[in-house]
Amino acid sequence: IEGEMKQQAQEMLEGLHLDAASENMPVALTLYQERWHQGVIGILASRIKEQWHRPVIAFASDGEGNLKGSARSITGLHIRDVLDAVSKQVPGLIEKFGGHAMAAGLTLPQRNFERFSELFRKQVAAVIDDTTLQNRHYSDGSVPSEWLDVGVAQQLKFASPWGQQFPEPGFDDEFIVVSQRVVGDNHLKLVLAPQDSNGDTIDAIAFGQAEEIGDVAGASVRVLYQLDINHYMGRESLQLLVRHLEPA
């Protein structure tokens, strides 16, 4: 269901001729398709947000004249506050809403969709700046190879929770891609060798990025990652969560 919905959303977006580098790129996206399923609009909104780096609300009908919306934001924009501002501008436009900085849910009468979409985009434009709309990747720097172990990953987990304005530490280094394979729905499993290693390798996974990354086997790449722990058959091992990958 999610795959079909994502394809439909992509077709809708292609019809808008969006270009993230264009001045005509909307600051926010609201999407609705009559047959979309309420159970996966949150996943859909997340995928579209990741692709276009824009706050997104995906809607589905509840079958009773209302639309249920699932909103996902980008760092630097408090999505719940945006909905609150829109609600105060036109009382009754939104039936109910709730959430936090990065995600929210709302219900509105289907007849209000176009009006809400217009006001939502205007409110986002009023509170967001150009820097926030640029999809920048921040790093806490390089990690010495001797720190790439389960113990350091556990210490970072103990220091959580992370969140808005307090992100989990991310690091960047150059690796050689020893091997790769696609698992599940567009997830890429990698085996990486640090540039300064003596044959040691590290497992890594890039969720939802298999198509985007493509074939990089044997290549030298720069990876933005977080340290994670893989639990398998009672054993714990270090795993890198890949946030961004590009040629070195």
Here the tokens at position 75 are 């760092």
Average pLDDT over residues 116-125: 97
Q: What pLDDT does 190 receive? A: 95
pTM of the predicted model as reported, rounded to 2 decimal places? 0.71
Region of 204 (left: φ > 0; alpha: ψ -120 to 50; beta: rest) is beta
Mean pLDDT of all residues in the chain?
89
Cα distances (Å, whole numbers) of residue 40 to 2, 68, 106, 136, 187: 6, 11, 15, 27, 18
Rounded Cα–Cα distance for residues 239 and 38 (Å): 33
Q: What pLDDT does 231 receive? A: 87
Q: Which residue has the higher pLDDT, 9 or 34?
A: 34
Let me know: does 242 contact 209? Beta carbons within 8 Å.
yes
Is the pLDDT confidence value at 65 over 90? yes
**Every domain of the chain and the residues it spans:** 2-133, 145-247
* The CATH fold of domain 2-133: Diaminopimelate Epimerase; Chain A, domain 1 (3.10.310)
Rounded Cα–Cα distance for residues 248 and 244 (Å): 12
* CATH placement of domain 145-247: 2.40.50.460
Strands (E), 74-219: 96-99, 103-109, 171-183, 187-194, 202-206
Average pLDDT over residues 24-36: 88
Q: What pLDDT does 15 receive? A: 67
Let me know: does 226 contact 171? Beta carbons within 8 Å.
yes
Lowest mean pLDDT, pick from 109-113, 114-118, 134-138, 216-220: 134-138
